[in-house]
Structure 1
Amino acid sequence: MSSIRLFLIASILAILTLFNFVAALQGYQASLREAEQLFDNQLYQTAKLIANLHTEQIQTPPSPQNNLAYQVWHNNQLIATSSPSLRKPIIELLPGFDHANFNGYRWRTLVFYDDNHNNWIIVAERSDLRYMLAESVITQAVLPILLGIPLAGLLIWLIVSRGLKPLRDLSEQLKNKQANDLTPIAIPDLKSELKQVNHSINALMRRLGSALDREKRFTADAAHELRTPISALKVQLHNLREEVPQGNEAFAQLEAGVERMQHLVEQLLSLYRSTPEEFSHQMTRLNLYELAQEVIANQHHDFEKCNQLLELEGDNCFVEGDPFALTTLLQNLLSNANKYTPPGGQIRVTTEAVGGHICLKVEDSGPGISPTDYSKVFERFQRLSHIKDVAAVQGCGLGLTIVKHIADLHNARTSIAPSSFDTGTAFIILFPRTPDSHD
């Protein structure tokens, strides 16, 4: 059973029902014994009453509804009976209680010897009628217990629900916490059973916060510390270029390695800046189309060098976002398209309103990505090996990771699809649409 509430209620009700059943059964059996004793005592009093009435030679008219039968015997002669058909002894003349069958019924019998008149008195009462009466009385006593079980179930439900309220409050606080909120959870008047759980959760948050701080410091410190020697290397390479023959392959590889290292450092810094702790929540209303124009203008020379056709289509679409983060997102998408689109290829950026979203699409005519690899491209340091000459393409495998991370910070959905060109890939970012997203 997946619900603690249902488990507790079902268990308590099962135990309560079991105990009520056992108690009702014991009470039923005990009540039957007491009723039997009462009826037997009544039968004995009836026998004494008959003995004192001097019923000799008195015949009682037969009554099919009568539940009582009697005989009075004196010296083996029947001197009184409740029915003319009862001419033989109902039961053997031995003092005490017993059972007998006659007239189609089972009867409880009592043989009583009257010392004063030397008479044997036999009194019989139908067993079925006395059981019916006893069961009627007992049922009226037991029925409230059985009917009280549903009411007890309702009360147990309310009590258990009330008892689980602190657990619901704890769950609600956890659910409402933001991704960057690692502050301790404080619930007033927390029950003792949940104090340890709350303490463990807060301890976990402290450890998680410490781990994130260490990762943040390491990324920032490593990136900043690497910038200085990289800058020094670039200065030395610039000075060395005049002394190295034109077209030296080793020198070209050295320059490419330094550029790659600088690119990796810059990407690490971008990834660090876009973490929830550093991300600015003071989002502004941005025109996504105009932002794309600015980024394309700044990076247009990269596409011109590769003789690539870069197009911007769509309308003015507005989103709530951070300017720096969205600029980084567009730069990485365009840089990725520039790297993997062959010379003379096409790249298209589109901004448009689609249903309840604002769509940003960047598609190219490059080699494309296999659908089985769609989920891999957003992983850190992931570079798809099936793409020809991928090693020759400058990159560190962080660009699309940063794109996905920034999109998540803006509550946007990221997806990949084939491009509208003959080959290539389309990266699609769907931002939440606001009432004034399209002007």
Structure 2
Amino acid sequence: MKRGRSIVRPLMLSLIGALVVVWLGAIGLSIVVMREEFDEIFDSALKEASERLLVIVSEEMHPDVLSAAESGRVFSSTGRRQYIVYQVRHADGHLIYRSKDAPEQPFDVPLKVGFRDTGKYRVFTAATSDEKLFLQAADDFGHRREAVMESAATMLWPLVMLIPVSLLVVWLIARRAMTPINALRTSISERDDGNLSPVETETLPNELRPIASSVNLLLQRLRSALDAEREFTANSAHELRTPIAGALAQTQRLLAELPDGSLKARTRNIEAALTKLGRISEKLLQLARADAGLGAKETKTDLLKVLDLIVFDFQRSAETSNQIDYIVAPSASLIRNVDIDAFGIVMRNLIENATIHGEPNGPIKVWVDEDSAIRVISNGPAVAEADLAAFKQRFHRGDAKRKGAGLGLPIADKIVRQMGGTLQLHSPVPGNDQGFEARIILPG
């Protein structure tokens, strides 16, 4: 399954990417500034070292400076690495003295006071007042680059730690910022044909209020359309009941007067059609009531007494007198905050569905078990699992040849959900290889 696009993920990556770019830019700018500052510091140190060494040389404080017998003599009292090297030269350019790490050949710069650059060194030339003796101190450019790189690396290490910390901080901030969006999403997801109340907008941020207002406008239009549909369905079904009942009565009277034959058989077909039409009109009225919203109420009612009356009515009926098997577990209790009319509609639809779609004249078991779940079980071939969910859709019938209208289970499911319960469909019946079971579980 393809994952949907996320708002938080691109936001986090963009913010962290921008932070890294800004940090790297700051490091780059710092490197430029540090390089200039380091050059000034190194140049100052190089100049100061040259001038002090020149004083020592010119005052003959070191015995080997002017009396050295060997030209280019090396002097060093330590084995440590030297960052500044120097050469002492005569005015004619002759090398008379150099430090340990200084090159053996004179620096390739003229004997003029000031700074000069070679390919490897930054050189400062100092001269005595009579310009007979020159001291050239040099600093390797590699030392300066090393100092800059070490400083840059020191600034890069915090970036490595900053990225995961920033990810966590940005994620927390984004999660907190997404709270109103999640609240709005949850509020919208709770809306259905049984709950079309407006979405609350007062506590939403200004950026989300237009979305909530648009949703409320859409809900208002949907509510108006559903109200018009329910009103039309209820009015149509109500207006049809009287003429259907009158036509059915006239047809039954005509049946009583007609002699046996083809005409009487046709009249029986008319009677069956009118009976089915009357049943459909009754279902449409129930559907309109279910769509209007009924089910839960504030006061508790003992639904077992209601169920007793409903089952007794079916047991007295000539069509189902020998089919209903009613069992109530001793520990069962059905005291619920449920409207008794709504509960009666649900149970009548479930039992009627069992008589219509179950095995003809087969037993129908109405069972309230120990867990207070209400189970209506009928015999018959097992139904494919894929078809069970479709039974809760309006006008869907498992067998088109049966006389049902395809509204019983959808009406029952809708009202049970309004009660806060669930309607479960099982086929085959658990523990058996055939049959159909409708199970109602109502909250206590």
**8 Å Cα contact 2:314/2:320 also seen in 1:** no
- Residue identity opposite 1:359 in structure 2: A
Is the alpha carbon distance of 1:350 and 1:294 closer, same or farther for their aligned partners in structure 2, counting shifts above 3 Å?
same
Distance in 2 of aligned mates of 1:343 and 1:150: 70
Distance in 1 of aligned mates of 2:284 and 2:254: 28
Q: In the alignment, which residue of structure 2 is the partner of 1:12? A: 15
Measured against aligned partners, the alpha-carbon deviations of 1:246-269 in whole angstroms (never above 9, x if no partner) come to: 461011011111111100000111
**8 Å Cα contact 1:308/1:347 also seen in 2:** no
Matched, 1:224 2:235: no
Distance in 2 of aligned mates of 1:309 and 1:251: 29
Q: In the alignment, which residue of structure 1 is the partner of 2:70? A: none
Distance in 2 of aligned mates of 1:9 and 1:36: 40
**Percent of aligned pairs sharing the same letter:** 24
Distance in 1 of aligned mates of 2:384 and 2:174: 53
Query: RMSD in angstroms over aligned alpha carbons?
Result: 3.4
- Per-residue deviation, 1:159: 5.1
**8 Å Cα contact 1:58/1:80 also seen in 2:** no
Q: In the alignment, which residue of structure 1 is the partner of 2:77? A: 62
Q: In the alignment, which residue of structure 1 is the partner of 2:324? A: 310
Secondary structure of the residue aligned to 1:282 is: strand
| 2:365 maps to which of 344, 348, 352 | 348
Is the alpha carbon distance of 1:312 and 1:187 closer, same or farther for their aligned partners in structure 2, counting shifts above 3 Å?
same
- Residue identity opposite 2:427 in structure 1: A
Q: In the alignment, which residue of structure 1 is the partner of 2:89? A: 73
Unaligned ranges ≥5, structure 2: 65-74
- Residue identity opposite 1:403 in structure 2: A
**8 Å Cα contact 2:303/2:340 also seen in 1:** no
- Residue identity opposite 2:135 in structure 1: I
- For residues 207-218 of structure 1, what are the structure 2 equivalents within 5 Å? 207-218=221-232
Secondary structure of the residue aligned to 1:353 is: coil
Q: In the alignment, which residue of structure 2 is the partner of 1:40? A: 43
Distance in 2 of aligned mates of 1:377 and 1:185: 32
Secondary structure of the residue aligned to 1:192 is: coil
Measured against aligned partners, the alpha-carbon deviations of 1:306-325 in whole angstroms (never above 9, x if no partner) come to: 67442112323315222112
Q: In the alignment, which residue of structure 2 is the partner of 1:427? A: 438
Matched, 1:297 2:312: yes
- Per-residue deviation, 1:363: 1.4
Distance in 1 of aligned mates of 2:169 and 2:103: 63
Corresponding residue pairs, total: 417
| 1:268 maps to which of 284, 298, 302 | 284
Distance in 2 of aligned mates of 1:232 and 1:218: 22
**8 Å Cα contact 1:377/1:384 also seen in 2:** yes
Q: In the alignment, which residue of structure 1 is the partner of 2:108? A: 92
- Per-residue deviation, 1:326: 1.7
- Per-residue deviation, 1:135: 5.1
Is the alpha carbon distance of 1:255 and 1:29 closer, same or farther for their aligned partners in structure 2, counting shifts above 3 Å?
same
Matched, 1:413 2:423: yes
Distance in 2 of aligned mates of 1:346 and 1:42: 109
Secondary structure of the residue aligned to 2:424 is: strand
| 1:185 maps to which of 193, 196, 199 | 199
- For residues 23-422 of structure 1, what are the structure 2 equivalents within 5 Å? 23-53=26-56, 54=58, 58-59=63-64, 61-65=76-80, 66-74=82-90, 75-83=92-100, 88-95=104-111, 96-99=115-118, 108-112=122-126, 116-127=130-141, 129-134=143-148, 156=170, 160-161=174-175, 163-174=177-188, 180-188=194-202, 190-246=204-260, 248-275=264-291, 277-282=292-297, 284-302=299-317, 304-305=318-319, 308-315=322-329, 316-320=332-336, 321-342=338-359, 345-354=362-371, 358-385=372-399, 391=401, 393-410=402-419, 411-419=421-429
Measured against aligned partners, the alpha-carbon deviations of 1:383-416 in whole angstroms (never above 9, x if no partner) come to: 223xxxx53x432121122222222222223222
Is the alpha carbon distance of 1:158 and 1:372 closer, same or farther for their aligned partners in structure 2, counting shifts above 3 Å?
closer
Residues 366-375 or 19-28, more deviating: 366-375
Unaligned ranges ≥5, structure 1: 101-105, 435-439
Measured against aligned partners, the alpha-carbon deviations of 1:192-227 in whole angstroms (never above 9, x if no partner) come to: 322321221111111111121121111111111211
- Residue identity opposite 1:97 in structure 2: R
Is the alpha carbon distance of 1:379 and 1:78 closer, same or farther for their aligned partners in structure 2, counting shifts above 3 Å?
closer
- Per-residue deviation, 1:301: 3.7
Is the alpha carbon distance of 1:139 and 1:242 closer, same or farther for their aligned partners in structure 2, counting shifts above 3 Å?
closer
- Per-residue deviation, 1:2: 4.6
- Per-residue deviation, 1:5: 3.3
Distance in 2 of aligned mates of 1:189 and 1:403: 37
TM-score (norm 2): 0.80
Distance in 2 of aligned mates of 1:143 and 1:422: 69
- Per-residue deviation, 1:87: 8.9
Distance in 2 of aligned mates of 1:79 and 1:45: 21
